[in-house]
Structure 1
Amino acid sequence: MTDITTTDIQVGDWHLHTHQAGNPEDPTVLWLHGSGPGVSARSNWEALITSMPGYRHIAPDLLGFGDSSHPEDLPEGVGASARLRAQAILQLLDVLGVDRTHVVGNSMGGMVTLLMLKDRPELFDRVILMGSGGAPIPPTPDLIRMVRYYEEPTADAMLELLGRFVYDTSGFGDSIRQIAEDRAVFAGRADIQRSHERTFTPEAEPLWFPGEALAGIKHEVLVVHGREDRIIPVEASYHLARHLPNAQLHVLPHAGHWVQIEQVSRFRDLARLFLNEESRTKGI
C-alpha cells in the first residue's frame, strides 16, 4: 500500500486540504470527490490512491468541503459554486507544477471536471466520470433527501442517507453505525453546513451540460455508473456517453452511487486499463 501525504496548499485566498500519494515523476491522476454532508477526498478515494502504483495521485477536498477553506461568500447554487471550485482546482494544479494530468470526477466532481475540460483542455489527458452530475434530468427523491439533510442532522439520518448511496450496506459490515456517527459529527461543523446550504440554495439555477456543450470536449472519456444508483440515475451517464465524442460507457450491476467503494477492485481494474490505453485521438 502506498503512503499518503496530506498538506494544506494555499491557492489565492484559500487553502485546499490535499492528499498526495505515489511518485511525483509518474503520470498524475487528479481525483475529485462528489458532494454530500461530511464528504471528503480521503473517504472517497483512499482505497484507490493507496493501491494504484505507477501514478502520482492528487486528491483535494474541494473548496467548501472537508478541511479545505469554506468561504463565507461561497457563490450560491450548484452552478456558481462549481465554477469557483473548478477555478480553485486549476490554481492548485498550477501551484503544484502539474502541466498534464488524468482526472477522475465523481458526482459533483464530474461537473467540476467538465467545467475544467472546457476552460483548459490542454491541461488534461484522459478523463473518468463516475456517477457524474450535469445531465439535464430532474433530481431524484434520494438526491433531494441528501440536499435536505440538515433539516434533521442526526446520526440516524446519516445512517439512513448512507443506505441511499450504496446498493448494499452489508459491505460496510458492523462498522456502518460508527461510520454514520463519525460522519454526522464531522458534518455538524458550522462551516460545512454553511457551504452545503449555499451550494444547494433552491432558488439558484442548476448546472446542466446539453449535448452541444459536450460535443466540443474531445478528450478520451470513460463514463462509469452503478446500475442501481438512486442519487443520480444511470440515464445521466447515457446522456454524457451519447454526446461526448470519444466516450465509452460501463454500467456496473449491483452498485449504487459509490462505485469506488462498493466495487473498488472492478473500478480499479477499469481505471488502470483505460488510463494505460494508447490514445485514439489526436492531441487536445
Structure 2
Amino acid sequence: MTDLELKHHRVTTSLGEIAVAETGEGPVLVMLHGGGPGASGVSNYHQNLPALAKHFRVVLPDQPGFGDSYRPTEEDLAERSITEIAVDALYQALDSLGIDTFHLLGNSLGGAAAIAMAQQRPERVTRLVLMAPGGGWLPFGPTPTEGQKEMFRYYNGGGPSEKKMAAFIRTMVFDHKQFGEDVVRARYEASLDEGHIAFYHRYNAAFAKRGGMDPLWRDLHKIKAPTLLLWGRDDRTITLDGAQLMLKQIRDVQLHVFGRCGHWVQLERQREFEELVSGFLAEQK
C-alpha cells in the first residue's frame, strides 16, 4: 500500500476497539475515510501519505463498522446514528492516544463525522478540511443520489461481485479508466469481510429508518475552525449544489472545485489535493 512505516494501534473505547494507523511527524492530522464498501483509513488515503507525512503526524482511524474496528450492533444503531457513534468512539480513541488538538479531514461519511466533531468540540479542531461531506449538505436535486443508490445496491441483489464493484467505482469517479482491474479487485476483496457485510445491512436499514444522514447543516455555525471545502464538480454522490449552505453558514470557509472530478478528490486529483491540504493546514491565523 505504501513504503512508509505505519504504526498500528488497537485502542479500547467504551464502545469497542478502534483500529488506528499513523505515520509521519509534526502537527497531528486526523483523516477520516468515507463509507463505501471496503473502505478504511489506510485504503482510502494510502496514496497521499508520502506527501502528507513529510509535514504531519497523520492519524488514520478505521471508523466503527469499517476496517479492523468494531462493528456496531442493531441496538447501537437504533439508539444513535452512525455519526453519533463515530464521534464518541473517535474522541475516546484520540484521548487514549494523548491527542488533544488536531487538524481534521473527512470525506463523505467521514466528512459527516468531521463536521460533528468540529461542532461538538470546536476547541480541539484547529483546521478542518471537508471533501464532499455528508450531513452538512442540502442538494437541489433528488435523493438518494446516483452514487448513494450504487452504494446501497452493492451488498444487495445477490451480494458483492467484482462487476458491482467496478460499477460502484465508475459512479464514484469522473474517469474510471484511470482505475484498472487491480484497483477494482483490491477494493472488492476488502469488501468481503463477513462482519463488515453484516454491519452494512444493519447500517443501511438504520440509515433508511432515520431518513438519511444526521441534519448537521442545522448547526454549521458552530464550526469555529478555518475550513477548506474540496469538491469534484462532477460528484454524483454528494453533489456540488449542496455546498452553498456550507459556504453561507461556516464562519471562516473557502471552497476549491475540481473540474472533471468526482467523489474521490484525493485519488482523482492527488497532487493538487496534497498541495492544497498541506498549504491550508500550514497557514497561521
Q: TM-score, normalised by structure 1?
A: 0.90
User: Which letter does structure 1 place at the counterpart of 2:174?
Assistant: Y
SS of 1:214's equivalent in the other structure is helix
Match of 1:17 among 16, 19, 22: 19
CA RMSD after TM alignment:
1.8
Deviations 1:66-95 (A, max 9, x none): 111113346337971110011100001100
User: Which letter does structure 1 place at the counterpart of 2:216?
Assistant: F
Confirm or deny: 8 A CA contact 2:34 2:109 kept in the other structure: yes
Match status 1:232 vs 2:247? no
**Corresponding residue pairs, total:** 273
User: For residue 9 of structure 2, what is the aligned residue in structure 1?
Assistant: 7
**Structure 1 gap segments, 5+ residues each:** 280-284
Task: Judge which range, 106-115 or 11-20, deviates more.
Answer: 11-20
- In structure 2, do the counterparts of structure 1 residues 78 and 237 end up closer, same or farther at CA, with 3 Å as the change threshold? farther
Task: Judge which range, 94-103 or 48-57, deviates more.
Answer: 48-57
Task: Judge which range, 177-186 or 156-165, deviates more.
Answer: 177-186
Task: Judge which range, 56-65 or 40-49, deviates more.
Answer: 40-49
User: For residue 101 of structure 1, what is the aligned residue in structure 2?
Assistant: 102
C-alpha deviation, 1:13, in angstroms: 4.3
User: For residue 131 of structure 2, what is the aligned residue in structure 1?
Assistant: 130
SS of 1:122's equivalent in the other structure is coil
Give me the identity figure in percent: 29
- In structure 2, do the counterparts of structure 1 residues 78 and 168 end up closer, same or farther at CA, with 3 Å as the change threshold? farther
5 Å matches for 1:77-156?
80-134=81-135, 135-137=137-139, 138-152=143-157, 153-156=160-163
User: For residue 252 of structure 2, what is the aligned residue in structure 1?
Assistant: 246
C-alpha deviation, 1:133, in angstroms: 1.1
Confirm or deny: 8 A CA contact 1:36 1:196 kept in the other structure: no
C-alpha deviation, 1:242, in angstroms: 2.0
C-alpha deviation, 1:219, in angstroms: 1.4
User: For residue 61 of structure 1, what is the aligned residue in structure 2?
Assistant: 62
User: Which letter does structure 2 place at the counterpart of 1:58?
Assistant: V
Cα distance in 2 for partners of 1:166, 1:228 equals 8
**Structure 2 gap segments, 5+ residues each:** none
Match status 1:186 vs 2:186? no
Match status 1:47 vs 2:47? yes
SS of 2:181's equivalent in the other structure is helix
SS of 1:150's equivalent in the other structure is coil
User: Which letter does structure 1 place at the counterpart of 2:14?
Assistant: G
Confirm or deny: 8 A CA contact 1:107 1:130 kept in the other structure: yes
Cα distance in 2 for partners of 1:71, 1:250 equals 35
User: For residue 166 of structure 1, what is the aligned residue in structure 2?
Assistant: 173
User: For residue 30 of structure 2, what is the aligned residue in structure 1?
Assistant: 30
User: Which letter does structure 2 place at the counterpart of 1:150?
Assistant: Y
Task: Judge which range, 5-14 or 188-197, deviates more.
Answer: 5-14
SS of 1:51's equivalent in the other structure is helix
Task: Judge which range, 125-134 or 239-248, deviates more.
Answer: 239-248
Confirm or deny: 8 A CA contact 1:27 1:56 kept in the other structure: yes
SS of 2:260's equivalent in the other structure is coil
Confirm or deny: 8 A CA contact 1:75 1:199 kept in the other structure: no
Cα distance in 2 for partners of 1:17, 1:254 equals 34
5 Å matches for 1:199-238?
199-201=203-205, 202-206=208-212, 207-210=214-217, 212-238=218-244
Deviations 1:201-225 (A, max 9, x none): 2222321223x51112221000010
Q: TM-score, normalised by structure 2?
A: 0.90
User: Which letter does structure 2 place at the counterpart of 1:107?
Assistant: S
- In structure 2, do the counterparts of structure 1 residues 13 and 133 end up closer, same or farther at CA, with 3 Å as the change threshold? closer
Confirm or deny: 8 A CA contact 2:35 2:109 kept in the other structure: yes
